[in-house]
Homo-oligomer: A and B are copies of this chain.
């Protein structure tokens, strides 16, 4: 079975693992104030050209999302989000568990626009019953989105401007940001400049686990470590996060892994298109969503793991193939060959 079902099937990239093994015996203080975390923080601030930013290492994405959102909102506020956004669909109500509504906007290919955000705010305050409705209190985006699409820098600039006009903190979920950076014209300094907070995900880019939250809005960063602790995200052996991110950030390893995941996905994309398979959404990153005949799904299932995404019609199903740091050229070659020989 060759696995394309997700980007977290295997352990850590060899360099990450090696760093963990090499530092295993070191005695460090707990909870993320060790030398490795400090170094990784400094590196990330420099990469972001944000010397004052708060940098916090959390274990996972749902944890990062809830902690940031709980920190940013007052009780009567909600987070604006694409209806397909991860916090709306796949976190078992984590945001609501902190007392906040997810305010959804219709999404096109997983993306929302500055115009939609502005209109939502306008409509809210124009409504006579505004105080009886959840106030939009922040904006949540994913880059890339849950459907693999990316925001352009121009789109992000416009969204950021709209957020500032309406005084809404902008939060970018970067669980797959390594791929996002490889596939868009957005850079880390852009994110630091345009967002109030974002994170660079490690779990889906070759770390055992770990998300690096960068907070450029000082009000949001204030007392943030209390919230990490309260929400269960303060890892006792915090050095594990420091060691991994130190390695991930060094010499552009995170960019390299992102580029490689995307490159392999692009080979799959071209194969599907050449074969005449439509794509549910034209993803620029490491998730690809071809629409296959049900017969083709059955054939491929014998040799490959992948995710059934949705039924398109009686005869067709959209599926998801995902590349990861550990996807080999041979894995992709095999899949390409099998796609090419499908009778569609």
- A residues contacting B by CB (< 8 A) are 1, 3, 5-6, 8-12, 17, 20-21, 23-31, 59-63, 66-67, 70-71, 74-76, 78, 89-94, 96-102, 128-129, 131-135, 203-204, 208-209, 223, 225-227, 229-237, 239-240, 307-308, 326
Contact = CB atoms under 8 A, between A and B. Distances in A.
Given A76-B227, A96-B99, A229-B62, A11 B25 contact: yes
B236 A63 contact: no
A125 B3 CA distance: 24
A129 B203 contact: no
* Copies of this chain: 4
Contact of A229 (B101, B131, B307): B131
Given A10-B26, A234-B60, A97 B99 contact: yes
A92 B74 CA distance: 12
23 contacts: A1-B27, A8-B237, A11-B24, A17-B20, A17-B21, A59-B232, A60-B232, A62-B232, A67-B232, A71-B75, A76-B92, A76-B227, A76-B229, A91-B132, A92-B227, A93-B134, A96-B101, A97-B98, A101-B102, A131-B225, A131-B229, A208-B240, A209-B235
A209 B240 contact: yes
A25 B237 contact: no
Nearest to A13: B24
Q: Which 9 A-B pairs have the closest CB atoms?
A: A11-B24, A63-B232, A76-B226, A92-B230, A9-B27, A93-B134, A92-B229, A3-B27, A96-B101
Nearest to A236: B8
A140 B182 CA distance: 46
Question: Taking each of A11, A23, A67, A90, which has the highest tally of chain B beta carbons within 10 Å of its own beta carbon?
Answer: A11
A231 B133 contact: no
Contacts of A8: 30, 236-237
Most buried by B among A9, A74, A99, A131: A131
A96 B134 contact: yes
Contacts of A230: 62, 75-76, 91-94, 97
A166 B56 CA distance: 26
Nearest to A86: B132
B10 A29 contact: no
Contacts of A94: 229-232
Given A10-B27, A74-B223, A133 B235 contact: no
A172 B42 CA distance: 40
A232 B240 CA distance: 18
Nearest to A96: B101
A39 to B, nearest CB: 17
Contacts of A99: 93, 96-99
B76 A11 contact: no
Contacts of A66: 232
Contacts of A67: 232
A308 B128 contact: yes
A236 B5 CA distance: 13
B98 A75 contact: yes
